[in-house]
Amino acid sequence: MRYSKRLRVASLAVVLGLAAAACGSSAKTTSTTATTKGGTATTAATAGSAAGATTAGSTAGGTSSGGTTFGGKLPDCFGNPTGTVTKGSKAGIAYDTGGRGDGTFNDSAARGADAAKTGLGVTIDELEAKTGDDRNPNLTTLSGNGDNPIIAVGFLFETDLLKIAAANPKTMYGIVDDVPPGANANIFSLVFAANEGSFLVGAAAALKSKSGHIGFIGGQDIDLIHNFEAGYDAGAKAVNSKIIIESKYLGAAGDNAAWTSPDKAKEIATGWYTSGADVIYSAAGGSGNGTIDAAVAAGDGKWAIGVDSDQYLTATPAQQKHILTSMVKHVDVATYDTIRAVGQGATKGAVCTFSLANDGVGYATSGGYVDDIKAKLDGYKADIISGKIVVPAK
Amino acid sequence: MDRQKLQRIGVTAASSVAAVLFALVICGIILLLTGRSPSHVYQTMWDAAGERRIQYDAIQRATPLMFAGCAVALGFKMNLFNIGVEGQYRIAALVTAIVGTRIGFLPAPLHVAVELAVACICGAAWAGIAAFMKVRRGVNEVIATIMLNAIAISLAAWLFNTYFRYTQGNSQNVTTRPIPRSGWMPDIVKDQLNGFFIVALLVVFAYWIVVFKSRFGFRLRASGHNDVAAKTSGISSKRMIVTALLLSGAVAGFIGMQQTLGDSHAYSSQGFVDGIGFLGIAVALLGRNHPIGIVLSALLFGLLAASATKLGLIKVPQEIVQIIEGVIVLSVVIVNEASGRWVDKRTQQRAAHAVEHHLTQQGVTA
Amino acid sequence: MTTAEPNTEQPYAVELEGIEKRFPGVIANHDVSLKVRKGTIHAIVGENGAGKSTLMNTLYGMHQPEAGTIHVNGQQVHFKSPAEAIAVGIGMVHQHFMLADNLTVLENVILGAEPARRGVIRHAEGTAKVAALAKQIGAHVDLDAPLSALGVGQRQRVEILKVLYRGANILILDEPTAVLVPQEVDELFETLKVLVAGGATVIFISHKLDEVLAVSDEITVIRQGTTVGTVTPDSITRSRLGEMMVGSELPKPIPRVTKIGAAVRLEVNGASAKVVGPGSQKYVFQDIDIDVHEGEIVGVAGVEGNGQFELCEGILGLMPLTAGTIVLDGNDVTHETVRHRKDAGIGYIPFDRHREALMLSSPLWENTMLGRESQPKFNIGPLINVRGSQADCREIIHDFDVRTPGEDVPAFALSGGNQQKLIVGRELVNNPSVLIAAHPTRGVDIGAQNAIWARLRTARDAGMGVLLLSADLEELIALSDVIVVMFDGMITARLTPAQATPELLGLYMTGTRQEAAA
């Protein structure tokens, strides 16, 4: 009598609501926006470090996991520390919503953490933000727990990180995909030269294209994605200056649906494949799956290029036959390197650009479809690292 | 009568505590099944809850929940289910963040006051759309507010991305322009406890006065309780629907303020803490729409979430806390229903008994 | 008490012995014994609230008694649910029909017991069986007609068919005549006789003595929760039976001594209202002219659903008029709000107290404040004056003899009669110039009924006008100065109480007879 039927319905809805809220927070995870928004400016990276980088794994203590090799030369930004990592020292990872298993940058950071655990013998403490409210407490908890370094996975940590880093000057922090404003003595900004990686997949596209007709699908029409397109174009034109490159963006700046519209991408890609294009690169988060599906539907000889991580590894067998390569952004390497550098005594924060030179970005070889052109691609890679080729950023 | 009132309160409190304990047991079983030690988990949370920092964090988390709980409870009191709190506070936060940057010429207290007024108006206005649709077109408020949530998210994202983006240097953290210092809500404990906690307590107090003590509140509760009887008695239910939703929206407008004015001092699409509107429903249910209940359940939810941040360190997924919260809400609904019935029955028996007693005294056979 | 001669050699179909049923706040059954012979019509009579329905619900398995035994056809039974009662052949026709408007007659009858093979309803089989039953009891109903097209009498026939279809041979009818006009009552009794002749047993609940005497083989009287005796119709007079029922002489109508005033309290002039449905609109009442004078009680008779409820809503302002005016004490209030009209002097005792008058889980003092909360005594500024409101409530409790432990108990804790007295008190304490009283004594016990009637008379004598709507023709005849009959949204007759016999009213109420509204 005291509880109306409405209220009962309400309670049921709450439970559903809680579930929805929980799902909502993980679903929104970041539609790869954060991941794709990789390196901003700096193109030519640390020219000097050219050498060994390509033949990864050569350095002592190197480990390999999921197609990534860890333990190459540390980027110079870390100040070339010379100490040795103390076994059992603690490193903290603060994941953003989604955490391990999100299939994108959190997962990638987790791979780097795992590699550091096995390869460097450090203890990893991990906290995952369930909601935005958790970011600050998680960083605080890790700081209080004696973890050093602490890596904040994603630029959304910026506001909280600035406060906490200032309060804990002796702890070193890393933040993925972001350069926080101001001079921050104990923060490493871990950013990626997406244009360089895109150059190589652009070259691969041009080398593999039989029709001399390729395409690029971007997510939001913003500078960050222009960075991918610019590299891709430059790479393709380096191979074939007359190549036709289609280009389309799925949404205007601010249209967040652009990252999650595989149907739109599929429609555009299907059109291009029909009119003769045979390789299409998408830098559009989850929408890129539409391009892969379009390639599958278009049949043999039609290729899609993945982005962020090696998409071959997570694709269905049917899709795998059409994934030429992927432009890979090594958040895992950045994570591993930060842990290693701090363990070896790095104490001065800096902006670390992960580029071809330090294997921070690259192309995937899974499936073996680019094995025949690997030599050429590695040639371009060496030229970029040496500074012979300067990849445009916009 | 006092004894009966006490009993009612006692039963309510006991049933809520029972629900929480029940939830802990269920989660303990889940932990056991997944090969973890419940005692270790609860011990960790308990120890965490003893830390001053965690306590501040719990209060910080509870503050928006109190606003949300009140907003939802206001609706419940009118038998309205405002699921739209979510959208209302998002719109309010965006507009307030924008207005806050434009009125920097105001002195600090006035600056904050104007910001809060803007937040209330925006929340109320967004809720007002649902009210209008219900009163004029008979659109169920549940459907209207769910739709408005989706619209609010898209609208805020579009406005933000199109007109109000601001970044510093190479930062990827895109926000609105930062609000000048005079528009900030000061912290009680620097970087740990914000002044909005006080505001939340004031709002809960106001909720109590308005809903439980005022003539308006009486009409609101009457309409919510039995709208036919209220209408028959001359209370315009349309007016009550509109007022209740506007008030609910206005309170919802406060939810995002701690983050916007107390912490990040700007609005950002991606950094925005969402989902509090839904949690508010749980808070209102657990608190049985009662002001003290709302405060206590908000604090409980805050403490659970705050102490759970330590669970990652012992390799226990923090999801366990979401399970605890979910089970609490479910068991509260079940336990409340049962205990409510029991109390009702007791009351009825007592009334009958008292009447019989009265009659025998008068020498009349019952 | 009087005991019936065993009039047949028939065995007992139902035997209840020493039944006790306790209910918080409601008159319970205690020490009830009832023996019903096979193949008879057995009436259970008693005043409203005497415990008749409780007893029948016990027999039907709706709840379990605290003490006592039940035998059906000689076998002791313990029903845990109606399903178990149905299984041994007991069927119940409720006062409020349990039928679905949007289904056909056939579908309603077979609902829940459909003849089906592998989940597919076999309509032909159902039709044949139901048609045979209908023929057997002499019911003429179109099995394929939608239920919504049926009148009350026919609906009741459908309920009976439904019970028979489930194999009942012991039928309980809870106040079956309450919703029927006299002509329909006769038809019902014919049906019952046919049933009994076919070997069925009928237990029929009523508080109308004439009917009971006319149709029953035996009569058991219940008073204040217990059986006071079983009699045969030919061994007892009407007045003696009435005495058994109420425990004393029947209350005599009190002739009025005051005069009806000249001033018109309420004028309803040519009032009409429509409901607009999908693709149609229908008048719910049309061209209603009623004047209620100072000190006058105008009775409105009619079968429920003929526009009386909507008329009240129209007068109160809850339903807009499409034509006509409402004038209160000389002021046109046609376009005023409900609140304005109530403040200007309309009191309203609604049809359904739970739905329209009470907040069941709120304390009594909030209930007595409802609708009056803008009066100064209930307020301190914008806040509620709790003490003042409680004091006001205590006055009403005292003045209207509401039996309650206090003003702080929730309304649901009170029995129906006490709830009704509380509402009457709330509406009368304002001294309205006109009171719309819809079924003011429905479901209340005899004591409360007398008290409410006395209240209405007192208020009338003080000059209040009353518009009395009732399904209880005795109440109408006893109280009214003039009676109008509503049928199909229109006034079909105006009669003085002297002219009005139940039979005549019945003819007008069913639309069998119409006279130009005078």
C468, pLDDT greater than 60: yes
Tell me the average pLDDT across B124-144: 94
Domain boundaries C264-345+430-509, corresponding CATH code: 3.40.50.300
Q: Which of B172, B261, B321 best probes binding to A when mutated, by most A CB atoms within 10 angstroms?
A: B172
CB–CB of B234 and C341 under 8 A? yes
Tell me the average pLDDT across B328-336: 80
* Predicted local confidence at residue B27, as pLDDT: 86
The DSSP element (H or E) to which C424 belongs, if any, is: helix C416-428
- C206 CA: distance to closest CA in chain A (Å): 29
A42, pLDDT greater than 50: no
Confidence grade of residue A320 (pLDDT, cut at 50, 70, 90): very high
Confidence grade of residue B293 (pLDDT, cut at 50, 70, 90): very high
Give the least confident one: A243-257, B29-43, C467-481: A243-257
- What is the C-alpha radius of gyration for chain C, rounded to an integer number of angstroms? 24
Which residues between 367 and 426 in chain C have a beta carbon less than 8 angstroms from any beta carbon of chain A? 412
Give the contacts of B34 (CB within 8 A, at least 6 positions apart): none
Provide the ipTM: 0.84
Residue C361 in contact with partner chain A when CB distance is under 8 A: yes
CB–CB of A126 and B318 under 8 A? no
Tell me the average pLDDT across C49-63: 82
In the numeric block, which tokens belong to residue C108?
Answer: 């309603």
Per-residue pLDDT tens over the stretch A361-376: 999 999 999 999 999 9
For residues C379 and C369, give the distance between their C-alpha atoms in angstroms, rounded to a whole number: 11
Query: Which of A329-333, B163-167, B324-328, C514-518 tops mean pLDDT?
Result: A329-333
Q: What share of residues in chain C are helix, strand, coil (percent, to 5)?
A: 35, 30, 40
| Closest residue to A132, CB basis, from B273, B281, B282 | B273
Question: Following CA atoms C181, C186, C188, C193 in sequence, which dihedral angle do they give, to the nearest 10 degrees?
Answer: 160
Q: Which of B11, B159, B170, B314 best probes binding to A when mutated, by most A CB atoms within 10 angstroms?
A: B170
Q: Other C-beta atoms within 10 Å of C454: how many?
A: 12
Chains contacting chain C through 3 or more C-beta pairs under 8 A: A, B
Residue A194 in contact with partner chain B when CB distance is under 8 A: no
Q: Which residues of A touch C361 (CB under 8 A)?
A: 1-2
Residue with tokens 């991918």: A228
- Which residue numbers of A have CB closer than 8 Å to C's CBs? 1-2
Residue A17 in contact with partner chain B when CB distance is under 8 A: yes
Domain with CATH 3.40.50.2300 in chain A: 49-193+331-360, 194-329+362-386
8 Å CB contact between A69 and A62 = yes
8 Å CB contact between A151 and A164 = no
Which residue does chain C place closest to A3, by CA atoms? C361
8 Å CB contact between A349 and A168 = no
* Predicted local confidence at residue C109, as pLDDT: 87
Q: How deeply is B100 buried, as exposed, middle or buried, from its count of CB atoms within 10 A (0-12, 13-18, 19+)? A: buried
Confidence grade of residue A313 (pLDDT, cut at 50, 70, 90): confident
How many CA atoms within 13 Å lie on the side-chain side of A91? 35
Give the contacts of C86 (CB within 8 A, at least 6 positions apart): C166, C167, C168
For residues A392 and C366, give the distance between their C-alpha atoms in angstroms, rounded to a whole number: 76
Confidence grade of residue A173 (pLDDT, cut at 50, 70, 90): very high
Tell me the average pLDDT across B295-319: 88
* Predicted local confidence at residue C253, as pLDDT: 56
The DSSP element (H or E) to which B25 belongs, if any, is: helix B2-33
B84, pLDDT greater than 50: yes
Residue A65 in contact with partner chain B when CB distance is under 8 A: no
Share of chain C above pLDDT 70, in %: 92
CB–CB of C382 and B216 under 8 A? yes
CB–CB of A254 and B329 under 8 A? no
B164, pLDDT greater than 80: yes
Q: Which of B205, B210, B223, B232 best probes binding to C when mutated, by most C CB atoms within 10 angstroms?
A: B232
Hey, CA dihedral for C160, C161, C166, C171, is it positive or negative? positive
Which residue does chain A place closest to C362, by CA atoms? A2
A67, pLDDT greater than 80: no
Share of chain C above pLDDT 90, in %: 33
Residue A34 in contact with partner chain B when CB distance is under 8 A: yes
* Predicted local confidence at residue C48, as pLDDT: 63
CB–CB of B326 and A19 under 8 A? yes
Tell me the average pLDDT across C219-226: 85
* Predicted local confidence at residue A54, as pLDDT: 32
* Predicted local confidence at residue A60, as pLDDT: 37
- C190 CA: distance to closest CA in chain A (Å): 41
CB–CB of C382 and B233 under 8 A? no
Domain boundaries, chain C: 12-246, 264-345+430-509
* pTM, two decimal places: 0.77
- A3 CA: distance to closest CA in chain C (Å): 9
Strands of the sheet containing A187-192, edge to edge, are A123-128, A90-95, A150-152, A173-176, A187-192, A351-354
C264-345+430-509 and C12-246 share a CATH fold: yes
Peptide bond into A149 cis (omega under 30): yes
- Three-state SS for C97-151 is CCCCCCCEHHHHHHCCCCCEECCEECHHHHHHHHHHHHHHCCCCCCCCCEHHHCC
* Predicted local confidence at residue C46, as pLDDT: 78
CB–CB of B318 and A167 under 8 A? no
Domain boundaries, chain B: 37-315
Confidence grade of residue C170 (pLDDT, cut at 50, 70, 90): very high
The DSSP element (H or E) to which C33 belongs, if any, is: strand C26-37
C223, pLDDT greater than 90: no
Quickly list DSSP for B293-334: HHHHHHHHHHHHHHHHTTGGGGT--THHHHHHHHHHHHHHHH
CATH 3.40.50.2300 fits A49-193+331-360, yes or no: yes
- The separation between CA C77 and the C-alpha centre of its own chain, rounded to angstroms, equals 31
C243, pLDDT greater than 80: no
- C361 CA: distance to closest CA in chain A (Å): 6
Confidence grade of residue C100 (pLDDT, cut at 50, 70, 90): confident
Q: Which residues of C touch B358 (CB under 8 A)?
A: 403, 405
Comparing B301 with C515, the larger pLDDT belongs to: B301
Give the contacts of C500 (CB within 8 A, at least 6 positions apart): C301, C473, C476, C477, C483
* Predicted local confidence at residue C49, as pLDDT: 62
Q: Which CATH number fits domain C12-246: 3.40.50.300, 3.30.390.30, 3.20.20.450, 3.30.1300.10?
A: 3.40.50.300
- A5 CA: distance to closest CA in chain B (Å): 10
Q: Which residues of A touch B83 (CB under 8 A)?
A: 13, 17
Per-residue pLDDT tens over the stretch C266-319: 999 999 998 776 666 778 899 999 999 999 999 998 877 788 899 999 999 999
- On average, the pLDDT of chain B sits at 88
Per-residue pLDDT tens over the stretch A214-230: 999 998 777 778 889 99
- Whole-angstrom CA distances from B221 to A211, B216, B230, B287, C359 are 73, 9, 9, 17, 9
CB–CB of B352 and C412 under 8 A? no
CATH fold of the domain at B37-315: ABC transporter involved in vitamin B12 uptake, BtuC (1.10.3470)
The DSSP element (H or E) to which C283 belongs, if any, is: strand C280-293
For residues C452 and C431, give the distance between their C-alpha atoms in angstroms, rounded to a whole number: 15
Confidence grade of residue A48 (pLDDT, cut at 50, 70, 90): very low
Chains contacting chain A through 3 or more C-beta pairs under 8 A: B, C
Which residue does chain C place closest to B222, by CA atoms? C359
Q: Which CATH number fits domain A194-329+362-386: 3.40.50.150, 3.40.718.10, 3.40.50.300, 3.40.50.2300?
A: 3.40.50.2300
CB–CB of B312 and A22 under 8 A? no
Q: Which residues of C touch A1 (CB under 8 A)?
A: 360-361, 412
Q: Which residues of C touch B1 (CB under 8 A)?
A: 405-406, 408-409
8 Å CB contact between C97 and C150 = no
* Predicted local confidence at residue C9, as pLDDT: 65
CB–CB of A21 and B279 under 8 A? yes
User: From start to end of chain A, where are the E strands?
Assistant: 63-65, 68-70, 90-95, 123-128, 150-152, 173-176, 187-192, 213-220, 244-251, 279-283, 303-308, 323-329, 351-354, 361-363
- Count A/C contacts: CB-CB distance under 8 Å: 4
